[in-house]
Amino acid sequence: MRRWVAGVVLALLLPKAAAAQVLELEQAFELALVKSPQAMALGRRLAVSEAEVLVAGAVLNPSIGATFESAGAENRSNVPYIEQTFELGGKRDARLAVADSQVAITRVQIAEALRELRAQVRRAYAELLVVRAGSEALQEVAAAGERLQVVAAQRFRLGDIPELDLIRARQELALAQNELQLARSREAAARIQLNTLIGRDPGAAVTVPTVAQFSLRVENDSLLPPDNRPSGEREDKLRGLIALALASRADLQVLGGQVALAGAERRLAEAERAPDLRVGAGPRLSFGETLQVGAAAAVNVNFPLWYAQQGQIARAEASARQLETEREALVARIKAEVESAFVRVLSAREQQQIYEQGLLPTARTVEQTARLAYERGKADLTVAIGAQTTGNLTRNRYYQSILEYQTALADLEKAIGVPLTT
């Protein structure tokens, strides 16, 4: 009795085994940003760019030297000196402006790369969810195929059906089992892809929500219209998305940064026209009958007589003009990308709703009814197999609609440059 009581107390005190935690889409996004090898590499890329600012702001070091003069064994002089070059015309500040512009561009490029990583995670997550749902559906199909085979065998022994029907039932079961095996292989591949993107061990187990739990949750009512019907609200949403894209798109910001960089490079080239001042000084030591100590100094200025940075200035000006032209073309492309992605999201959402609200429940009902009718001898095998085939096709197309919807959302996120909340 004491042992039993002790066992109960111990069982109550010990923590329960943790159930497999469901990986939500937002959690996958966060893991990708923190643990993904791509995100870590992008962080190091920023460190490299920021180091260029230190290089650009460096002050020239002084130099130490000596001159030796001799006019006979008893008339010699040495001048040890220290020399410093002073950059004039704001060269250092201009270099820093160029380096700062490059850092700003790098930051925007990293943000764009992280948005692309987010899109990859969304697609991989949806792929795993859809493939896993397909595997579970095929398990049910295989179980149903086994039941059909058992019923077919019973009816064949009773002489109710020809042997051909029994062979067909066995064949359908073999096909379902083969499809199930392929689906499990695709699920393993999808799991490896998602784990790699979010920085996990490729073979780690991943639990994702069911299709019913996931479905159409990833919407933002402030960005998408409630339905697909042409309306003023739909047009307003589209205009709002285009305005958001023009304000948020990283490639447009990169182009703006490149324009600023071209201006900074032009100012640097103009600063390079100014001569540098080189000043040196030191004691003059004369060796003769007696040691004489004096002083020596030198001043040098390089004079830009033949070349005054004309090439660099012309290149920076031409680059700025080219970038302005590219900006106009990019604005037109952004508008087209947003509108195209917007239409695809609404279309994919409508298709998914059609399957969920009508086609999928109907196919499931027909499949179950046909199977029961065959088991009761009120329908032949062709009807049951046909209903099962139609059910499989409907489910596959439904899962494909989910994947297309998630892909369209990922493309819309990229098009507007802003994540859609979940």
Q: Provide the residue-wise pLDDT of the chain in tens; the chain has 422 residues.
A: 444 334 433 343 444 434 457 788 788 888 888 888 888 887 788 788 888 888 888 888 888 888 877 766 567 777 788 888 888 888 788 888 888 888 888 888 888 888 888 888 888 888 888 888 888 777 777 887 778 778 778 777 777 777 787 787 788 778 878 888 888 888 888 888 888 888 888 888 887 777 665 654 544 445 566 555 666 777 888 888 888 888 888 778 887 888 888 888 888 887 877 888 888 888 887 776 677 788 888 888 887 777 777 787 888 888 878 878 888 888 888 899 888 888 888 888 888 888 888 888 888 888 888 888 877 777 777 787 788 888 888 888 888 888 888 888 888 888 888 777 64
User: Does residue 371 contact residue 387 with C-beta atoms inside 8 Å?
Assistant: yes
Torsions phi, psi for 380 (to 5 deg) = -90, 175
DSSP 311-332: HHHHHHHHHHHHHHHHHHHHHH
- Could you tell me the strand order of the sheet in which 63-70 lies? 63-70, 76-86, 277-287, 291-301
CB atoms within 10 A of CB 238: 18
From residue 50, give the alpha-carbon distance in Å to each of 43, 227, 251, 261. 11, 47, 20, 15
Q: Could you give the CA distance from residue 257 to residue 108 in angstroms, rounded to a whole number?
A: 9
Return the amino acid letter for 197.
Answer: L
CB atoms within 10 A of CB 32: 24
- CB-based contacts of 351, cutoff 8 Å, min separation 6: 401, 404, 405
Torsions phi, psi for 306 (to 5 deg) = -90, -30
pTM: 0.65
Q: How confident is the model over 294-331, as pLDDT tens digits?
A: 888 888 888 777 777 778 788 888 887 887 888 888 88
